[in-house]
Amino acid sequence: MRIAVCDDDPREQEQIEKALQGWDPTRNTEKFLDGKSLLVAAKRTPHFDVAFLDIYMPGENGIDVAKALQEISPNTGIAFVTTSTEHAVDAFSMHALHYLVKPVTTEGVVEVFRRLTELRSNRRDTIVFTVGSERYMVFMDQICLLENDNHAVNVSLSDGRRLKVWMSFSELEQRLDGSFLRINRGIIVNMDQIAQMGTDICTLQDGSRLPIAVRHSAAIRATYDNYVFDRLSRRKGF
């Protein structure tokens, strides 16, 4: 398990580690005095399981560091550490595991890992994309659209980002789960992102209009209808 502690005060780092070892003496941390060095280390795999982030650091805001960290590794649990509750609303809007007021205690650390365990039991599926020299881990349900682009695939995400992934279209298709549907040669959509499925045009929730392969239109529509029916049935407990 990789555990990060990011705080500009070494004494506070030691306090967090002391609290952590009060829960499990075998656990060690990777310590960082600033967000930049934390984010560099976060790109290495395996990714951090949890990161304790100070909100107030010189020239940095822990909330912004956490947002960048979640882009690198969405499954890293975030526990904010601070001297006040001023940014508690911002922290929890990011689905942080906990908001710990200094000094950090073993009881607080225990609660962080209890929530991490609970989160992992309901973990969303992820996929790792290589873009140039960078690696991005994203939630599968964030993917809206995949479009073939010669020897690469353009991936559109629900947060507006577009990633150009250098991988064959067929190879990437094999890594997707059952919520994705190929509607035309070189076009795959996330069925949860479809606003309307016509006979020749598929419209996504962001307004994108995509052509459906005419020869396979009936089969594509049937696959989508069955997916929607199964999803509704699970929700209603049929």
* DSSP string for residues in 73-86: -TTSEEEEEESSST
In the three-class reduction of DSSP (H, G, I as helix; E, B as strand; rest coil), residue 171 is classed as helix
Please identify, among 121, 148, 175, the residue that sits at the C-terminal boundary of a domain. 121
> What confidence category does residue 223 fall into, taking pLDDT thresholds of 50, 70 and 90?
very high
> Do residues 96 and 78 both lie within one domain?
yes
CATH number of the domain residue 74 falls in? 3.40.50.2300
Mean pLDDT confidence for 154-170: 91
Residue 224: give the domain boundaries. 126-236
pLDDT at 46 over 90: no
Q: What pLDDT digit, counting tens, does each position of 228-238 carry?
A: 888 776 654 44
Residue in 218, 236, 215, 216 with CA at minimum distance from that of residue 226: 218
> Do residues 22 and 103 both lie within one domain?
yes
CATH number of the domain residue 221 falls in? 2.40.50.1020
Per the structure, how many domains does the chain have? Answer: 2
Q: What pLDDT digit, counting tens, does each position of 80-130 carry?
A: 998 866 655 555 556 788 888 889 999 999 999 988 887 776 667 788 888
> Do residues 159 and 189 both lie within one domain?
yes
Please identify, among 76, 102, 121, the residue that sits at the C-terminal boundary of a domain. 121
> Do residues 152 and 66 both lie within one domain?
no
> Do residues 195 and 92 both lie within one domain?
no
Q: Measured between alpha carbons, how far is 47 from 72 in angstroms, rounded to an integer? A: 9
Across the chain, mean pLDDT equals: 87
Q: What pLDDT digit, counting tens, does each position of 163-195 carry?
A: 999 989 999 998 898 899 999 999 999 999 999
